[in-house]
Amino acid sequence: MKEQHKKESPILSLLGMGGGGTGNALGGGVGGGSATGGTIIPSGANIYHVFISNQNFVVSGTLDCELLVVGGGGGTAGSYQGGGGGGGIAHGPSVTVSSGTYAVVVGDGGASISNPYTGASSTPGGNSSIALPAGTITGLGGGTGTIDAFQNSQTTYIPGGSGGGNGDDSDKQAGDATQPGQPNFGVGIVHYGNPGYAPPSGNAPGSAADGGGGGGAGGGGGPSHTERREGGVGQPFTNFPAPVLSPALPSPDQSRFTTAVGPTGLFGGGGTGARGPTTAVPGGGGGGETPGTGGDGRNYTGGGGGGVVAAAGGTGGKGIVIIKYAAA
């Protein structure tokens, strides 16, 4: 099991908030190029292109870019679930992008499965990516949290960027993380993803029946299947703070994103495992949310879905792709 290794007018460019409004941006970096695609946000000495849907990033000239590619968070299954894994993250601190048109894909969050007796697994998050000449840089969707084994022992894990948590199963296993195995394509891509957590209580009855949290981009269960109900923390990227990026998002996702990601740029948090059945405390959504505050992962953070007592668990949060470069 793998563990994390570590100008068209700015006003016009923001008119398409959440819909990916496009426009020209004055570039900088290697060749003073320019680019279109996504919602364009000038901020100080930098320009951000924020993608929340599938579009193209079109470059004229040459740009020295910082890339952040976040997969969608994983969903949960049944009731008394383990938390969904956070979306895997591919970070390129300095990637030279020359003239061309590059497809950007933004992964959806994984769905939850409400019926505990079907044997169906929940849905992993969708992959986010940008196709560059060096290769397709991908943030893998988060893995699934599993159901309480007392209800259905047939439900299996689907691994993901960060792995899902174990739904109060006595075997103490948890979902694998697949993001750390992605290539760096010779351009210095760094990958973030961690395994899910095992439940603190085994298959215990009553209020002690905790599900394991999903792994996060910043921390997770590791090869020893660490026992923990809270999801793994998101990974901070200080060059991608929520106050700068949030104008690109629709309401009500904008305020939730701002709370979850914050000024330190937390992405890819794992969902919290359910606690129950006699203590009706909902699981926490991923993406930096405080445990116990809600079931769904926060959209555009890649947060994993949280486990909920005696009800359908949370869905994963949608992913995001962000490209940053110096203004001319």
DSSP 44-91: TTEEEEEESSSEEEEEEEEEEEEEEEEPPPP--BSSSPPPPPPPPEEE
* Strand 39-43, strand 46-51: pairing: antiparallel
Average pLDDT of the segment spanning 141-147: 87
Q: What is the pLDDT of residue 1?
A: 38
Q: What is the pLDDT of residue 3?
A: 39
Closest alpha carbon to 145 in 327, 264, 279, 315: 315
Q: 74-88, 134-148, 155-169, 304-318 — which one is most confidently predicted on average?
A: 134-148
Average pLDDT of the segment spanning 115-133: 80
Average pLDDT of the segment spanning 131-158: 79
- Neighbour count for residue 136 (Cβ, 10 Å): 17
Whether the predicted pLDDT of 111 surpasses 70? yes
Average pLDDT of the segment spanning 246-253: 94
Q: How confident is the model at residue 24 (pLDDT cuts 50, 70, 90)?
A: low
Taking the C-alpha atoms of residue 303 and residue 293, their distance in angstroms, rounded to an integer, is 13
Taking the C-alpha atoms of residue 160 and residue 313, their distance in angstroms, rounded to an integer, is 18
Average pLDDT of the segment spanning 147-163: 70
Tally of helices (H runs) and strands (E runs) in the chain? 3, 14
Q: Whole-angstrom distance between the N-terminal and C-terminal Cα of the chain?
A: 45
What's the token pair of residue 138? 């991908």
Q: What is the pLDDT of residue 137?
A: 98
- Taking the whole predicted model, whether its pTM rises above 0.75 is answered as yes
182-191, 223-232, 284-293, 297-306: which range is least confident on average? 284-293
Q: What CA dihedral angle connects 224, 164, 245 and 23, to 10 degrees?
A: 120
DSSP string, 304-320: PPPP-TTS--PPPPP-E
Give residue 200's Cα distance to chain centre: 24
Taking the C-alpha atoms of residue 111 and residue 92, their distance in angstroms, rounded to an integer, is 29
Percent of the chain with pLDDT over 70: 75
Question: Max alpha carbon distance in the chain (Å)?
Answer: 63
pLDDT in tens, 200-234: 877 676 666 788 899 999 999 988 889 888 899 99
Q: How confident is the model at residue 88 (pLDDT cuts 50, 70, 90)?
A: very high
Q: How confident is the model at residue 267 (pLDDT cuts 50, 70, 90)?
A: very high
What's the token pair of residue 295? 């079931």
Q: What is the pLDDT of residue 232?
A: 92
14-28, 88-102, 277-291: which range is least confident on average? 14-28
Sign of CA dihedral 147, 152, 156, 158: negative
Taking the C-alpha atoms of residue 215 and residue 26, their distance in angstroms, rounded to an integer, is 39
